[in-house]
Structure 1
Amino acid sequence: MTKEILVVDDQPGIRMLLQEIFSDEGYSVSTAETGKEALDQLYARSFDLLILDYKLPIVDGSEVLKRLERDQISVPAIVMSGLDDIRKEINGFSIVRKVFAKPFNIQEVSDFVKGFLE
Structure 2
Amino acid sequence: MPKEILVVDDQPGIRLLLNDILTSEGYRVSLAKTGKEALDKINQKSFDLMILDYKLPIIDGKEVLNILEKEKIDISVILMSGMAENIREEIEKNNLVKKVIAKPFNIKDFCVYVEEILL
Q: Deviations over 1:27-68 (max 9, x none)?
A: 000000000000000111100000000000000000000000
Q: Spell out the pairing of 1:102-117 with structure 2 (5 A cutoff).
A: 102-117=103-118
Stretches (4+) displaced over 4 A: none
Q: % of aligned pairs identical?
A: 58
1:65 is matched by which residue type in structure 2?
Answer: L
Residue 17 of structure 1 and its aligned partner are, at CA, apart by 0.3
How far apart are 1:117 and its partner, in Å?
A: 1.4
> Are the aligned partners of 2:76 and 2:117 in contact in 1 as well (CA < 8 Å)?
no
Instruction: Tell me how many residue pairs correspond in the alignment.
Output: 118
- The answer for the alignment partner of 1:18 in structure 2 is 18
Q: Which residue of the partner structure matches residue 31 of structure 1?
A: 31
TM-score, normalising length: structure 1: 0.97
Q: Distance in 1 between matches of 2:117 and 2:64?
A: 21
Matched position secondary structure for 1:59: coil
Determine the C-alpha separation between the residues in 1 that align with 2:113 and 2:95: 18
What residue is the counterpart of 2:98 in the other structure? 97
Residue 115 of structure 1: how far off its partner (Å): 2.2
Using the alignment, how far apart are the partners of 1:68 and 1:52 within structure 2?
A: 12
- Quote the RMSD (CA, aligned, Å): 0.8
Write the distance in 2 (CA, Å) between the matches of 1:106 and 1:54.
Answer: 18
Answer whether contact 2:2 2:27 (CA < 8 A) is retained: yes
Equivalent residue for 1:62?
62
